[in-house]
Structure formats: C-alpha cells, structure tokens
Structure 1
Amino acid sequence: MSSSVAAMEEEMEMEIPKGYAEIVVVRHGETTWNASRILQGQLDSQLNEIGRQQAAAVANRLSKEPKFNAIYTSDLKRAADTAQIIANQCGLKEVILDEALRERHLGDLQGLTMVDAQKMNPSAYKAFLAHKRDQEIPGGGESLDQLHHRCVSSFQKIAGQHKGERVIVVSHGGFIRELYRKAAPNRKLEGKIQNTSVSVVLISASNNRWFIKKWGDTSHLQGIGMLDSGFGGDKTSG
C-alpha cells in the first residue's frame, strides 16, 4: 500500500459524520475496593498503584490520537482522578465533573463485599441479582431502567454540545454497560468492562442515533497486570 493511500484511509477513519459527536468512553482505573472485591456504587475509593499505572497508560495512548475538544467525568474520585491524568497528558485544561456520569447507586449494598452483602442484607442482595430492569435496590438504590435513562440523557446532552467534535468521558462499569445497551440493543454484551478500557461511540443528538465504532479496547494495558482478574465491569458491576 502506498503512503498516500494509507494517509487517505487514516483521514477517513478520523472523520466524524455530519451532525454526530465522537465520544471516547473510558472506565476508571482499578481501585483499592476493586482489588478487595467491594461494591462501590456511588461511594468513593482511591485508585491503587495498578489503577494509576492503567490511567497513565490510557492517557499516553489517547495523547497520540487526534485532538480532543473536552473531557467529562463522573465526579466520583476514582473517575475524576483517572480523567485528570488523561487531561494532563492530552493537554486539556479543564476536567468537567458531572454527577450524572456516576456509577449506579447500589443502596444498602454499597461498601460491602458480595459475601457480606448476602449475609447482612439478603433482601437488597436478592434485588441486585434479580437483574429486573425496574427493580430498585433497598436503601435508595437505582433500578437498571433508572440508570439507563440517566446514562442516555447525559450522553445525548454531551453529544448535542459537541457536534463534529471528539470528547472523552470517564465513567464506570455499570454505567458503560448501559451505553452498549442503547447503542447495540440487539446484541448481547459479552465479557466485562475492563478498567481503563476504551470504547468509541458516535452519537447524533438531533435524531437519537447511536453507533459503536470501537468497544472495550485494552491494547494499551499489556504488561500492567490485573486485566483479567479485576473486579467489577460485569453484570454485578458497581
């Protein structure tokens, strides 16, 4: 292949369809609670050393891509710290905190391991594992339908503000799973949302059309560790 043809193909890959925003979605780095298999929900926990290495790796990767116009993040510390590391590397001056990008609220289960949740609050544990879309979790927890609505509306808003632009959003495993459900409603999501995995979604806010351009890429994490054993990002994400 000639260099001119390769350059043309690369340029086409970079193009954003008219009226769409290209949103690069990143799950936060691994946390101390991920490593301890604790349900985080909307409680705060710190990135651990592996999580910081993961954040640095994804930041380095994204810094080599075409320019980003903005970076948004959940205001929970594990996501906000990941976003700040990315912003510093990509030359983005402002990290926009948005509580609408938070993980699902898990009610009375937040702060418990799965084993302790089953023993200490069996009713909330049962509600959590039921996976019924309209099932709220005792203690103020969200249903999957409520999480889905929050997820979709927040991304529609971001897409409407960034037509023709590329932006980064840092969020959480359960939240990102709902993005997939919206963008690919007829396909089953296999596997988990890995820490600092990269997915790319094209969204038209005007006609509510969503397309997946890339999903769950972790090529930047080779050699960092905890990729397969990391907790969360699956059907019991939180």
Structure 2
Amino acid sequence: MAKRNDPLQADRQSSRRVGSLAALWPFLRPYRGIAALAVCALVLTASVSLILPLAVRRVVDQFNGATELLDSYFLVALGFAGLLALGTGARYYLVTRLGERVVADIRRAVFDRVIGMSPAFFERIMTGEVLSRITTDTTLILSVIGSSVSIALRNFLILIGGAALMMLTSAKLTAYALLIVPVVIVPIILLGRRLRALSRENQDWIAESSGNASEALLSVQTVQAFTHEAENRAAFADVTERAFRSAKTRIGTRA
C-alpha cells in the first residue's frame, strides 16, 4: 500500500493541517445564504440553551409563589423550549442540506478532474482506490460539514456564554472551574490527534480494499484463466482484516 500511495504523500502531509479545510471554501461560497441561515439558527439554539435553564430556575423559585406568576414563568419556559426545538430542527435541516450539496459538488469536481488524468496516473493508482476516494472519503467531508462543524460551533458558543453567566454569578467559582480546563483539554487534544491519524489509516486500508476488489473483478476473466482466485481471495482478505484492525483500534481509542 505504501508504494502505491507514494505520489499522494505530499498532499496527505498538507491535509493534516486544519488550514487545508480552506479548500472547501470555493464549494461553500455559492451557498453563502444557506450557510448564513444555518449560523443564525445555530446562534439561536445556543442562546436559548443558555436562557432556558434561567427560565426553569424562575419556575422552581416561584413554585410556592402566586399562581399567576408561576403560570407566567412556566409559559415562558415552555416557549423557550419550543423555540429551542424549532431552532434545532432548522439548524439540522440547513446544515445537512448544505453538506449534501457541497459533497455532491465535490464528487462531481473530483470525477471531472480524474476522468481527464493521464493513463500514467491510473498505472500508479488503482481504479478502486479512486472510486473509494470519490465515495467514502467525501462521506467524511459530509460528516464534517453536516455535523462536526456545527456541533463544535454550538458547543463553543455555549462555552463562552456559560462562562460569562458563571462570571456574573460568582467570579471566584468561575476561576476555580477554569483551573481544571487544562486537565480536560490536553487529553482531548492528544486523543484527537491520535484519532485523526487512525481515521486516515483506516480510510487508506478501505481504499486499498476497494482497489483490490475492483482490480480483480474488472479482470475476472484473466484471474480465472490463470487460476489466480486463491491469491486474490487471500490478498483481499488480508487488506480487509487490516482495515478491521485499524477500525478496532480507532474505536477503542475513541471509547
């Protein structure tokens, strides 16, 4: 696998940087309107997530108070809960739709590029691996655009807002809470790097598996003519098992 992937090593080294995600901007730019609406929905849900506990606190504090006041606080809390549900639904729809649209454009652009490559390119890279990159790898991009980025931004806004509310409530308590942040963040960063490397390795083995299967099936008459079925079965079983072991390691690290 290493030899086949040598021509791609430079690109893969650069893809390890977060800045490489900037390459997605040309695909996102035509859909700035949808992205802006998604950001608005995200800010709304993050804000309501911070306000809703305050409304619930009012309901609890006034539980033995006047019935009219309790009803008012309860209705306000219920309204915020409904607003949170609507905002969450809108955010999911907009972000998922944006992700699907961008991934469809990326797949089309990659295919348009690959179909014009020289025959020498396909001598170095198996057709099955190219197909895996177009399908499987772009699915990972979909998970980033349609889920990971929006969840990360939402959690970041909630973190900032929550810290501000804690500071207003008790600056001393906030300072104590911030002391444990490095203890929590450092392991997350280290595990995140490890998971990224394992995910990349797993995708490489999946691509290798697809390449072996495609190569054998596209020339199945030749394989059978030379009674090479056993060797192809063994080769495919080997890369599939390696992909499984890589996935198992990734799952264990993530757990």
Select the structure that is richer in strand.
1
Higher-helix-fraction structure: 2
Task: Provide TM-score, normalisation by structure 1.
Answer: 0.31
Higher RCO (CA-CA < 8 Å; seq separation 6+): 1
